Amino acid sequence: MKPLSDLQGMLLVALAATLWGSIGFVVALLSGGVMASDPLLIACGRVALAAPVLWVWHRVRSGRWGVRLSTAHVLALVAAGVVFALYHVTYFAAIPRVGLTYAVLFNICTAPLFTLCIARVWLGERMYAPQILSIALAIIGCVVLIGGTPAVVRLDLVGMLLAVAAGLCYSLLAVLTRRVAPEADPVTIQAVIMSVAAGVLLLGLTQTPVVLTGLPWLSLLYLALVPTVISYVLYTRGLAVVGATTAASLTLLEPLVSTMLAVGILGERMSAVSWVGAVVLGMSLLLVARRT
């Protein structure tokens, strides 16, 4: 593969986060909320549909179905697949306990902090005061943007711990992927991760699958192909040159994009406080990129 510059790597990560930000918008637009009725099953369907697409893509790119990875890399990717599945389980388990707003806040805002610490210890990534300040500002902006003033506050300790656990899982996914990304094809990496994640989620399902008809299938196909197959390949390609901490920070672009789509296309309204949070988040992400 052609080497990427740091700027190109950050742009790929930012593009991946932008695609992730479209998830809520597309689900709301195409399915009228039907897809949200059983989110864990939808998450399972998302990765289960993505995995075979990635394997076909891998076959086209490499000319073979098998993978040529070291044992250490295979173990890292299997672990990444497990934590990706656990991310969905813990995140969706937190929502009914603390509500969507706080589940998102504890999840997405703790991930960069976990990544900063884990990447420092495991990958030897250096910490810089300007970088830490930029990340802190990005998290503050994200909190203000998403948090606002929720109508109902549910301080459930188990729910908060589950949401934080989801943030930890996501940071582990970034670090594990980062270990392999510089030395392997991003499509192959994601084919392995998604296959393991799909297997874990399928084994853990105890509910009857939801029967989807009509437009919800378009939502599910979109979730599988665009913010899963394409976005995670872009993210992995960017991780080949971008540090795990920087990548985790840039993914805070996701809630910003999601909010802007909801306001611009779905007609939702934002409070003045949330607009301040959006501006702070946007400016701090630019600082994250500049300080890297």
Q: Per residue in 16-31, pLDDT tens? A: 999 998 887 776 665 5
Measured CA to CA, the distance from residue 247 to residue 12 in angstroms comes to 10
Candidates 102, 82, 83, 103; CA nearest to 39 is 103
Q: Per residue in 252-275, pLDDT tens? A: 898 888 888 877 776 777 778 788
Contact by Cβ (8 Å): 142, 109: yes
191-202 in b/e form (b: 16+ CB < 10 A) is: bbbbbbbbbbbe
pTM, 2 dp: 0.90
Which bin fits 221, alpha (ψ -120 to 50), beta or left (φ > 0)? alpha
Q: Which residue has the tokens 């029967």?
A: 211
Say what the pLDDT of residue 188 is: 97
- Rounded to 10 degrees, the C-alpha dihedral 58/219/77/84 comes to 180
Q: Per residue in 116-142, pLDDT tens? A: 899 988 888 877 777 788 888 888 888
Measured CA to CA, the distance from residue 108 to residue 21 in angstroms comes to 12
Max CA-CA distance within the chain?
55
Q: Per residue in 75-116, pLDDT tens? A: 999 999 999 999 998 988 888 888 777 788 888 888 998 998
Lowest mean pLDDT among 25-39, 133-147, 220-234: 25-39
What angle do helix axes 253-264 and 23-31 make, rounded to 10 degrees?
30
Candidates 136, 142, 68; CA nearest to 104 is 142
The single-letter code of the amino acid at 264 is G
- Rounded to 10 degrees, the C-alpha dihedral 157/159/161/166 comes to -170
Can you read off the two tokens belonging to residue 118? 């884990």
